[in-house]
Structures are given as structure tokens and as C-alpha cells.
Structure 1
Amino acid sequence: MKVLVLGGGVIGVTSAWYLRQAGHEVTVVDRQAAPGLETSQANGGQVSWGAGTPWAAPGIPLKALKWMLRPHSPLVLRPRLDPAMWRWLFKMLANCTSERYTINRERMLRLSRYSHECLKALRQETGIRYDEHTTGILEIFRTARDLDDAMRDAALLQQWGVDCRLLDRNGCVAQEPALHPSQGKIIGGLHFPGDESGDCFQFTQSLAKLAQSQGVNFALDTRIERLEADGDRITRVHTDQGVLTADACVLACGSYSPLLARPLGLRLPVYPVKGYSITLPLTNAAAAPAGSVTDVTYKVVVSRLGDKLRAAGTAELAGYDLSLPPSRLATLRHVLADLFPGAGDPAQAQPWCGLRPMTPDNPPLLGPTSYKNLFLNTGHGTLGWTMACGSGKILADIISGRSPDIDLNGLGLARFS
């Protein structure tokens, strides 16, 4: 079968890889000059299948109001005359209950756990390398309230078989010795030994090269303009380089997926949530974390990627704005200096921002649509890389007429009907 994968980020590239492994003729279409140059380029670097949680959680509305009054707020809302933003926000608020949190957490965990198994198998099969660190992710807490919330979440996760370990201050320093100078600011932590970290951009580009060597075609510098349908099938994909046709299409354009779907009558509840990062060269390896640390108070991830150090965070609702105001990077610089002083050179920090495609309940949109040959692989939010391999393999199974290895209940567009 001839398949077009629309989007060349980590989701699109993993989809293409598994589709090719299933024997299909695959073309990836992307407007950038190389794979992984948008949201996959400089994210936090975590494969947090156990630690990843829904943003829509009990108490978030009140927390959000308090955050926005703080100088280093992890959440920024820029009100605008955008009906899609307000629809998304109201749907997210409806998911901020204990019942909905538990449902959404289980759905995300089901896919993330499976995806991690797929990633490990892929690494063993191909030998792919991406500055990976495979001994876990550490969450640190500065306040008793955050620690109490984590203890409740840990109890739920342990019921689902997730290995997570509560640590005191000394335990956090034992896990990440570079925290020793800042240990007085930490009251405890939660370690997820099964989680991983690494360079998502390096992974995406390396897997794209492997896919290309196996026969996947990459139509780069090609902007997708619209999808044309006849009845219940997509018949043409119009681009600025001409018209493309295929037996099936996978829509994996991240935050831009709803813009392509809307003229077809498909309303995808996906909205761009902007995130920021800075990447610094290491100047003192001993002062840097060995892997990845999440500062829960500021919602900032600090990851070591080979000879680089990256801090990433912030959730900003500002539409499709890709500006880089220095004020939004201040929180990242603050956390780096506060937790790991002297680890990197802030004068050489490379700033970046990207648009995370997020659903209001946080599980992605995966699987079929009302068009028989159009399939969704989008809306993964902050867990795009975490869920990428599993999502790609599931799409390949569906398109190949095989039953996926996990239950897909609650992971598709049908849940918003």
C-alpha cells in the first residue's frame, strides 16, 4: 500500500519507520528542510512513560491563578479572540476532576508503557544512539504540598505496576550528586527508574536516515496546503510542489493538524501549547545532572544530553505565535542557576520554542477518522517522544489490517463525539 505521512517530526518519522517495516511504500511530507526541525528539535529530552501526567488535574484551575501571579510562572495565558482556544480551555477545565484525571492517566500510561517497550526493541534492533540515559528520571519537590500530591499519585501508579520510589532529601542527592549544593531547597523527590532521557532531535534524524536506507522517501521543503476528499476518501494532497496521491494518509502535523482537518469537516480538539528551552555547553560535568531532573515547582526539566545541558518548560497559550521573548526564558535560567550552578555557560545558551499539540484531556488522537483512508497520529502534547514509537507501530498495525497490541479505547477521536 502507498502511504503518505504528513509531518516529519518524531511522530511522523516513527510512523514512517513502522509502516515501512510492515511492507508499505511510504513518503514523508514536511515543510522543513530536514526531519525534526519543529517541536521535536529542542524539547526537554524525557521519555517519561511513568512520570508523565495529564496537565488537566484536580486543583489545576486554582493553581493556575496563583501561578500567573508569580514572577516565574510555569503557565502563561495570552487571551485572544480565538474560539478554538476558549473551547479547548473549557474542555480542559472539565477534565480537572479526580475521576477524569484517573481515566486520562490510565490511557496515557497504557500507550506510554507500550511505546517504551517499542523504543527498547527498536534500540536493540537498530543500535540507534541519541545521547540516551536509561537509569531513570528524578522529580524534585520544594514544597510539602507538592510532595503530598506526589505521594497520592505514586500510590495510584503502584497499583498500575509503575516502579516509582519516594526519596527524602538525602535520597535525591544520592540519585543525582550534582544536587548537593542546592539540597537545602529540596524536601524530597520521586524517582522513576524505568524512565529515560536523551536527544529527541538526534533520535528523529537518526531514525529518518535508517528509514531512508530502508526505502522511505522524504519529500522535504514541501508545504502541505490542503487535503482533497471525494466522498469518504482522501483523494489528493495539495502541496506547493504539486499534488500527491496515496492509498492512505497519516495526519501527523502536530499543532497544525486541526488546520488541515477543519476544511474536511473534522474538528480536532488539539491546540498549540508553547514551550521553551535553552541549551548550554557543559563547563563542569560534575556540577550537571547525570540524566534528567524535573523541578515540579517550576515545571522545568533539566536534562544532560552528551556534552550539553538543556532546561525546558513553560506552558503558554498564545495561538501559533513563535516569538522568543527573553522574559519567558528567565524561569529556565533561574532553575538552572538555582539547582546546578556552574554546570553550563549561560552566555552561550541557545534559546528555542516549539508548539506542543495538546488535547484538552491530554491523551493523543490516534487511529481512524470518518474518512476511510485518513488516520490520525497527533495531539501528544508534552509526551510526543514518549509515545512516538508505540503510536507509530499502532498506526502501522491499523493500516495493515492487524489488531494493535494494546487496547485503543479512549485514544482516538471518537471519545470527543
Structure 2
Amino acid sequence: MKVIVLGAGIIGVTSAYQLAKSGHEVTVIDRQQGPALETSFANAGEVSFGYCSPWAAPGIPMKAMKWLFMHHAPLILRPKIDRAMLSWLVKMLSNCTSKRYAINKSRMLRLADYSRISIAELRAETGIAYDERMQGTLQLFRTQAQLDASGKDVKALAADGIPYEVLDRDACTRVEPALRHVREKIVGGLLTPKDETGDCYKFSGTLAGKAQDLGVNFLWDTTIKALDIESDRVRGVLTSSGWLAADAVVVALGSFSPLLLKRHGIKLPVYPVKGYSLTIPITDATRAPESTVMDETYKIAITRLGDRIRVGGMAEISGYTNDLGQARRRTLEHSVMDLFPGGDARNGSFWSGLRPMTPDGTPVIGATRIGGLFLNTGHGTLGWTMSSGSARVIADLVSGRRPDIDTTDLAINRYQ
């Protein structure tokens, strides 16, 4: 079949690769000049199969109220007259119950664990290199209350058979030796040892090259104008370079997916939540992380990428804005220098990207009511984590095969 993939971020590139492996004639369309130049460009560097939770959780509404008044706030809300923002917020709040949290986390872990297997197989077959490390994620707790509250995550990890370790202060310093310099600032942590780290931009670029070797055609600097739909079936895509025929189309446009789909009567509850990152050179390796440390207080990930540290996080709900607020940079600098002062934060590279968030945390993967139109979007902060598994799922569905995991609760019809 002729398959067009819309978007060349981490989700679009992995989808194209798996579709080409399945024998399809694949074209990828993107408005940028190359792969992974938007949300995938400078993300936190985590591949978090275990540290994988929906933002909508019990207690979040009360925490969110407190965060809004913190000096180094993990959440920033800029209200505006935006029906999509209000609808998304209401739906997210409805998922902040123990019952919904357990359901949402379980299916996220199912997809993440499948991705863990898939990316390992991808590495074995391609030899892809991307500053990767396989040393896990340490969720770091500065207070006893945070450590106690991790019980719900431990319960979910245990239920799904995901390896984990609850660590005291001394055990944290054994996992991340640089923490011995600031041990009095922490009380414990939760280690998910199967998690990985790396440079998503390097990964995406290299994999795009592998996809081209399989025959994938990438159309850069090309604007997507509309889908060509006739008799409730997709026939092609109208672009700035003309019309392209397709037997199937996969929408992998991240936060911009709902803007395209609403023109065709599909309401996709995905909304952009802006995140920030700071990439700094390491000046003292003895005071730098070995893998990823998740600072629970500020919701910031601190990741080792070769001779650099990537500091990423925060959630800013402000619509489709991509400005770089200096207050956000100061929060990133505070978190990393408070724990790992082994980098030159003043000379760091500051960046922001729009994460495509669903109200329940789970991406939307699968067919739509329009024949031949498939979605692979809404992965939020876990795009790279879930990308390899999501790509295999979408390749199976487009090819008419039954995926290796249950996908009935991943499609858009779960919102209807």
C-alpha cells in the first residue's frame, strides 16, 4: 500500500520505519528541514518504561493549586479564552481519581513495556547509537511525604510486573554517587532499573536514515493543507507541493494533530503542554548524574547525555506558544545545580517544545471512522518512551495484522 505519514518527529520516524519494514511504500511529510526539529529535538532524554505515569492522578488538583504559587513552580497556567484548553482541563480533572489513575497507568505501562522490547530489537537490528545508557531512572524524593505518596506507583508497577526498587538515602547515593555531596537534601527514591537514556534527536536522525535505506521518501519544507476524503475514505493529502495519493494516512503531528483533524469532523482531545529543557556541558564528572534523576519536587528530569547534562521538565499550559521565559530557565538551573553542580549552567542551551497531551495520559493509536485514516499521537512527555511500541502497533493495524498487545483501549473511540 501507499502510506503517507504526517509528521517527522520521533513518532512519525519510527512509524515510517516499521511501515516500510512491513512492505509498504511510505512517504513522510514535514514542514521542517529534517527529522525531530520540534518537540523531539531537545526533550529530557528519558526512555522511561517504568517511570511512566499519567499526570491526572489523585491529589493533583490540590497540588496544582500549591504549585501555581511556588517560586520554582512545576506547573504554569496561563488562562485564556480557549474552548479547547477548558475542555481539556475539565477532562483531565475527571481522570484524577484512584480508579481512573489505575486504569490509565496500567495501559500506559502495557504500551511502555512493549516499547522496551521493541527498542531493544531495533538496536539489535540496526546498531543505532545515540549517547544511550541503560542504567535506569531514579525518582528522587526530598520529603517523607513524597516517599510515602509513591506507594500508588509501586502498587501499579508491581501489578504489571515492572521491576522497581524503593531506596533509602544511602542506596540513592550508591545508584547515583554524585548525590553523596547533597545526601542531606534527600530522604529516598524509587528506582526503575530498566529505564534508559539518550539523545532523541540523534536517535530520530539516524533512524530516518535507516528508513530511507528501506525506501521511505521524506518530503521536507512541505506544509500539510488538508486530507482528501471521499465517501468516508482517505484518498490522499493536499500539500504545499501538490496532491499526493494514499491508500492509508497516519497522523503523527503531535500537538498539531487536532488542528488538522477538526477540519474533517474528528474531535481529538490532545492539547499542547509546553516543556522546557537546558543542555549544559559537564565540567566535573564527579558531580554529574550517571543516568536520569527525576527531581520529584520540581518535576524535572536531570539526564546524562555523554559529556552533557540535559535538564528538562515543567508543564506550562498556555496554548500554542513557544516563547522562552527566563523564569523557567532559572527553575531548571536551580534544580540541577542544587543536586548536580558539575555542569556549566550559564552556558547552557535553552529550549522549549509543545508536548501533545491527552486528558488521561495514554496516547491515541489506531483507526478512525474514516477508512484508511489512522492516528499515532498524543504521547505527551513519553513520546520516545512509547515510540517503538506505538510504531509496531500502527504498522500492524495499517497492515491488517493483530498487534502483539491489546490495543482496543488505545484508539480514539475510548472518548466517545
Is the pair's TM-score, using the shorter chain for normalization, greater than 0.5?
yes
How far apart are 1:243 and its partner, in Å? Answer: 1.4
Query: Structure 1 residue 282 and structure 2 residue 291: aligned?
Result: no
Match of 1:22 in 2: 22
Does the residue aligned with 1:356 lie in a helix, a strand or coil? Answer: strand
Q: Residue 407 of structure 1 aligns to which amino acid in structure 2?
A: D
Match of 1:370 in 2: 369
How far apart are 1:388 and its partner, in Å? Answer: 0.3
Match of 1:188 in 2: 188
Q: Residue 380 of structure 1 aligns to which amino acid in structure 2?
A: H
Check the 8 A contact 2:361/2:380 in 1, yes or no. yes
Check the 8 A contact 1:272/1:358 in 2, yes or no. yes
Q: Please list every run of 5 or more consecutive structure 1 residues that lacks an aligned counterpart in the other structure.
A: none
CA distance in 2, matches of 1:104, 1:39: 23
Match of 2:410 in 1: 411
Q: Residue 379 of structure 1 aligns to which amino acid in structure 2?
A: G
Check the 8 A contact 1:137/1:192 in 2, yes or no. yes
List 4+ stretches of structure 1 deviating above 6 A: none
CA distance in 2, matches of 1:180, 1:200: 29
Does the residue aligned with 1:371 lie in a helix, a strand or coil? Answer: coil
Check the 8 A contact 1:273/1:355 in 2, yes or no. yes
Check the 8 A contact 1:164/1:193 in 2, yes or no. yes
Mapping 1:24-103, distance limit 5 Å: 24-103=24-103
Does the residue aligned with 2:276 lie in a helix, a strand or coil? Answer: strand
Deviates more, 1:96-105 or 1:46-55: 46-55
CA distance in 2, matches of 1:53, 1:169: 23
Q: Residue 320 of structure 1 aligns to which amino acid in structure 2?
A: Y
Check the 8 A contact 1:151/1:166 in 2, yes or no. no
Does the residue aligned with 2:238 lie in a helix, a strand or coil? Answer: strand
How far apart are 1:331 and its partner, in Å? Answer: 0.9
Does the residue aligned with 2:350 lie in a helix, a strand or coil? Answer: strand
Match of 1:337 in 2: 337
Match of 1:383 in 2: 382
Check the 8 A contact 1:166/1:190 in 2, yes or no. yes
Q: Residue 92 of structure 2 aligns to which amino acid in structure 1?
A: M
CA distance in 1, matches of 2:14, 2:226: 23
Query: Any idea what the Cα deviations from partners look like across 1:209-267, whole Å, max 9, x if unmatched?
Result: 11111211100111111112112112231111211111110000000000000010000
CA distance in 2, matches of 1:238, 1:93: 37
CA distance in 2, matches of 1:284, 1:230: 61
Check the 8 A contact 2:236/2:249 in 1, yes or no. no
Check the 8 A contact 2:105/2:156 in 1, yes or no. no
RMSD: 0.8
Match of 2:126 in 1: 126
Q: Residue 327 of structure 1 aligns to which amino acid in structure 2?
A: A
Match of 2:232 in 1: 232
How far apart are 1:325 and its partner, in Å? Answer: 1.2
Q: TM-score, with normalisation over the residues of structure 2? A: 0.99
How far apart are 1:158 and its partner, in Å? Answer: 1.1
How far apart are 1:291 and its partner, in Å? Answer: 0.8
CA distance in 2, matches of 1:106, 1:164: 15
Query: Any idea what the Cα deviations from partners look like across 1:281-309, whole Å, max 9, x if unmatched?
Result: 11112211111110011100000101111
Q: How many residues align?
A: 416
CA distance in 1, matches of 2:145, 2:309: 29
Match of 1:107 in 2: 107
CA distance in 1, matches of 2:184, 2:388: 39
CA distance in 1, matches of 2:214, 2:398: 19
Match of 2:348 in 1: 349
Does the residue aligned with 2:150 lie in a helix, a strand or coil? Answer: helix
How far apart are 1:48 and its partner, in Å? Answer: 0.6
Q: Residue 252 of structure 1 aligns to which amino acid in structure 2?
A: A
CA distance in 1, matches of 2:31, 2:84: 24
Query: Any idea what the Cα deviations from partners look like across 1:331-361, whole Å, max 9, x if unmatched?
Result: 10000110011x1112211000000000000
Mapping 1:147-166, distance limit 5 Å: 147-166=147-166
Check the 8 A contact 2:279/2:349 in 1, yes or no. yes
Q: Please list every run of 5 or more consecutive structure 2 residues that lacks an aligned counterpart in the other structure.
A: none
CA distance in 1, matches of 2:218, 2:321: 27
Percentage of identical aligned residues: 54
Does the residue aligned with 1:389 lie in a helix, a strand or coil? Answer: helix
Q: Residue 366 of structure 1 aligns to which amino acid in structure 2?
A: I
How far apart are 1:376 and its partner, in Å? Answer: 0.1
CA distance in 2, matches of 1:153, 1:220: 41
Check the 8 A contact 2:115/2:387 in 1, yes or no. yes
CA distance in 2, matches of 1:272, 1:204: 21
Mapping 1:296-315, distance limit 5 Å: 296-315=296-315
Q: Residue 29 of structure 1 aligns to which amino acid in structure 2?
A: I
Query: Structure 1 residue 358 and structure 2 residue 352: aligned?
Result: no
Q: Residue 221 of structure 1 aligns to which amino acid in structure 2?
A: D
Does the residue aligned with 2:259 lie in a helix, a strand or coil? Answer: helix
CA distance in 1, matches of 2:370, 2:155: 41
Deviates more, 1:251-260 or 1:141-150: 141-150
Deviates more, 1:3-12 or 1:193-202: 193-202
CA distance in 2, matches of 1:412, 1:399: 13
CA distance in 1, matches of 2:277, 2:119: 24
Mapping 1:191-340, distance limit 5 Å: 191-340=191-340
Q: Residue 355 of structure 1 aligns to which amino acid in structure 2?
A: L
Deviates more, 1:253-262 or 1:158-167: 158-167
Match of 2:177 in 1: 177
How far apart are 1:159 and its partner, in Å? Answer: 2.2
CA distance in 2, matches of 1:312, 1:198: 13
